[in-house]
């Protein structure tokens, strides 16, 4: 149980780090300073690699703890907490609650970042299309694409 608890602490630290790095990435996207986006993404990928390795260790430690408690392999953290004696039961519940909260925070931050990436893509596409003069598509209030069939717009007045 001690080994499992130590691995869960490590996993929580990594989830905290992931939440922070996702927030940094979201802020980079929100400010439009995309120069740092590659660095932020690389750091996130590093934390994800560490998390994958830690998940393997946690699964092994959880199976060992389950065997000691008479449970079947691959138990949930809730099942371990329900079967473990105190103080382990309370500690495992605390780990579970903290991890659920971190997972929600990470999901929300990732969703915000996804929205910013999508908006940035649309903006860049519209700018490139306007510069190229091939199309002047825009969006209506309901989100559908509206094509302007009138003369193409130009960012530069070439008559000067």
The residue extents of the domains of the chain are 2-109
Q: What is the pLDDT of residue 151?
A: 47
Q: What is the pLDDT of residue 133?
A: 55
What are the 10-residue block averages of pLDDT along the chain, 160 residues in total? 94 95 87 82 92 94 93 91 92 94 91 76 66 60 63 53
Over residues 97-142, the pLDDT tens digits come to 999 999 999 999 888 887 777 766 666 666 666 676 555 556 666 7
Compute φ and ψ for 140, nearest 5 degrees.
Answer: -85, 170
19, 106 in Cβ contact below 8 A?
A: yes
Q: Which helix (H) or strand (E) holds 79?
A: helix 77-83
Compute φ and ψ for 64, nearest 5 degrees.
Answer: -65, -45
Residue-wise burial string across 45-83, b where 16 or more C-beta atoms lie within 10 A, e elsewhere: eebeebbeebeeebeebbbebbeebebeeebebebbbeb
């Amino acid at each position: 149980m001690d080994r499992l608890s130590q691995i869960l602490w490590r996993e929580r630290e990594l989830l905290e780090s992931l939440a922070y790095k996702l927030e940094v990435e979201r802020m980079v996207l929100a400010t439009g300073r995309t120069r740092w986006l590659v660095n932020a993404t690389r750091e996130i990928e590093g934390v994800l690699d560490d998390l994958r390795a830690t998940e393997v260790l946690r699964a092994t430690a959880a199976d060992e703890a389950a065997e000691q408690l008479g449970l079947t392999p691959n138990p949930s953290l809730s099942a371990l907490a329900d079967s473990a004696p105190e103080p382990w039961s309370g500690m495992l519940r605390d780990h579970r609650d903290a991890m659920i909260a971190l997972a929600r925070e990470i999901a929300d931050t990732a969703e915000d970042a996804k929205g910013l990436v999508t908006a940035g893509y649309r903006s860049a596409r519209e700018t490139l299309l306007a510069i190229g003069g091939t199309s002047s598509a825009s969006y209506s209030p309901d989100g559908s694409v509206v094509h302007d069939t009138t003369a193409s717009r130009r960012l530069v007045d070439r008559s000067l």
